[in-house]
């Protein structure tokens, strides 16, 4: 990733020529540690201290630790010093010709491009020669059957053709900012920029890391009892409901015979002042019976402000107080 800061890495290399090293073993008596600075202005460096080739065996990278800054590293490539490889090293005419071609076609500069650029034909041929020397011949593509579109790969570098949001030479893992590696590739995390702390998510579940007060896989919802994402605020339901509509703030499932956007009034057939702090509650209208009984003949009622008597609103066909 691009960064305005310099990086510092510790790379350990170990020889694979020892009897205990099948190929680039991780913990060997010959293991050596190198600390290198990775300037932010450069895409590649020649290390100050480097491993040597002894007795036909290569020194292979076994560990990498980034000391600073704290960033997600997608890939770090250790390139060989081509002029010291067999077939390129020494005074033989063929080796001299290969080195001259490297210089003439500026192949080394092309090798260091990130992302890789199309190579000149001469450089592509030399890449095949270098790869064959390093790996003892051609290598199988080994494209991942789930993450790649086919079993074939590029002749230079072996890059398989990946499905959407899939990365890796073999197309075997999700790209940063995606999840759910499978037959269809990977899906975008699509983390809410307002509700999440980053655009990265869990590689399996896709769960984004949410800001306080946000929830949901994409961190695009308010916590229960809140509404108005991304400016989440508590539901105002006067103590008669816990939840409200996450978009409008209208209270859901008002209890205690209350109604209204904030459960701030009594439902039909009941009277009182249910607003929080009033000390009152909704009571059934006595018209003359109570709601739900055979003798209830009203549709609503209210308390007279002066006499505090209950005044009924009669149903059609009925009269009286």
Instruction: Work out the average pLDDT over 70-75.
Output: 53
Computed over every residue of the chain, the mean pLDDT equals: 81
Rounded percentage of the chain residues whose pLDDT exceeds 90: 42
| 136 pLDDT more than 60 | yes
How many angstroms separate the CA atoms of 265 and 65, rounded?
64
Domain 148-188 sits in CATH at 2.10.25.10
| Phi and psi torsions of 98, nearest 5° | -65, -40
Q: In this predicted model, which residue has the larger pLDDT, 202 or 123?
A: 202
23's tokens: 């190929």
Instruction: Work out the average pLDDT over 106-123.
Output: 75
Contact 169, 156 (CB under 8 A): no
In this prediction the pTM is 0.56
Beta bridge mates, 33: 12
Alpha helices in 207-317 (DSSP H): none
Instruction: Work out the average pLDDT over 86-92.
Output: 82
| 24 pLDDT more than 90 | no
Q: How far is CA 303 from CA 263, 285, 307, 308, in A?
A: 19, 10, 8, 5
How many angstroms separate the CA atoms of 90 and 304, rounded?
110
At residue 78, the pLDDT reads 65
At residue 189, the pLDDT reads 96
Per-domain residue ranges of the chain: 1-78, 148-188
DSSP 163: P
């Amino acid at each position: 990733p691009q960064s305005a800061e310099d990086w510092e890495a510790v790379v350990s290399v170990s020889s694979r020529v020892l009897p205990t090293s099948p190929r680039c073993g991780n913990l060997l008596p010959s293991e050596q540690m190198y600390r290198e600075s990775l300037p932010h202005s450069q895409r590649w460096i020649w290390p100050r201290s480097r491993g040597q080739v002894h007795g036909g065996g290569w020194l292979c990278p076994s560990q990498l630790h980034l000391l600073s800054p704290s960033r997600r590293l997608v890939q770090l490539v250790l390139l060989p010093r081509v002029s010291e490889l067999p077939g390129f090293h020494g005074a033989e005419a063929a080796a001299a010709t290969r080195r001259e071609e490297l210089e003439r076609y500026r192949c080394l500069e092309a090798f260091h491009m990130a992302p890789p650029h199309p190579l000149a034909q001469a450089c592509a041929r030399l890449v095949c020669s270098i790869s064959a020397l390093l790996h003892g011949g051609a290598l199988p593509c080994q494209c991942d059957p789930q993450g790649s579109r086919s079993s074939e790969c590029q002749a230079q570098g072996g890059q398989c053709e990946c499905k959407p949001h899939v990365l890796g030479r073999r197309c075997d893992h999700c790209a940063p900012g995606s999840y759910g590696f499978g037959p269809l590739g990977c899906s975008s995390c699509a983390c809410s920029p307002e509700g999440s702390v980053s655009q990265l998510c869990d590689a399996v579940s896709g769960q984004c890391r949410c800001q306080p007060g946000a929830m949901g896989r994409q961190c695009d919802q308010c916590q229960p009892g809140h509404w108005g994402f991304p400016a989440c605020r508590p539901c105002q339901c006067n103590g008669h409901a816990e939840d409200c509509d996450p978009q409008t703030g209208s209270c859901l499932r008002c209890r205690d015979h209350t109604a209204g956007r904030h459960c701030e009034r009594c439902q039909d057939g009941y009277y009182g002042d249910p607003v929080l702090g009033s000390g009152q509650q909704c009571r059934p209208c006595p018209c003359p019976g109570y709601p739900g009984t055979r003798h209830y003949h009203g549709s609503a009622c209210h308390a007279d402000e002066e006499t505090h008597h209950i005044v009924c609103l009669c149903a059609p066909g009925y009269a009286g107080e």
